[in-house]
Amino acid sequence: MIDELDYESLLERAHETMPDGGGASDERWGVPELEVMYEGRTTVWKNFQDTVDAVRRDPEHLLGHILKVLGSAGSRDGRRVILKSVIPTEKLRDKIEEYVSTYVICAECGKPDTHLVKEGRTQVVECMACGAKRPVKVKKGQTAKEQKKMVLPGDEIEVLIQDVGRMGDGLAKVDKYVIYVPGVAKGARVKIRVEKVSGTTVVGRAIQN
């Protein structure tokens, strides 16, 4: 009787420590953290192939989508990709997440165990885990609008200094960006060269026309 109770206790404890079926592997799945470096006016996506391996899609399909939505030229170089413009890491990350949401993740079970198939003229995401299917829906008209608003290091733009920041820098706003320009007074309209972009915060230097 004592042995039976001990066995039941151990069995119950074992069940409590076991993960739910399939849950652990799903939680571990994800796109690798981006490894990006800049060489002059180019962006080097160092671990492109790691992303391809994670999403299990044709590398040319992934690269073609990324180049299209970024409005940039680029090419593969071994396991990496060279983009012919300066692309902020967070911008590239957003576009990869958009690709995963559009072409990879199952809308029903949320798993990445899918592949792309053609049904007539429609591209379909088919889930191998639950059997669900959904047509691919690509957002249109977004690229040109976003590209027009992008501010990148090296850009030269004209801004109106609308205020002065706490550190005495001139403060301007362009679309979604807040731009800090050292040494420029409120009310001045100046041409600047963008030196740094972090999210929607920009640091620029006034230049002569």
Assigned domain for 18 exists: no
Assigned domain for 4 exists: no
Per DSSP, the residues of 67-121 read HHHHT--EEEETTEEEESS---HHHHHHHHHHHHHHHTS-TTT--S-EEEEEETT
Residue where one domain finishes, among candidates 115, 146, 177: 146
pLDDT tens digits for 69-113? 998 899 999 999 999 999 999 999 999 999 999 999 998 888 999
Give the pLDDT of residue 199: 75
Give the pLDDT of residue 8: 53
Are residue 100 and residue 171 in the same domain, yes or no? no
Tokens of 186: 């409120």
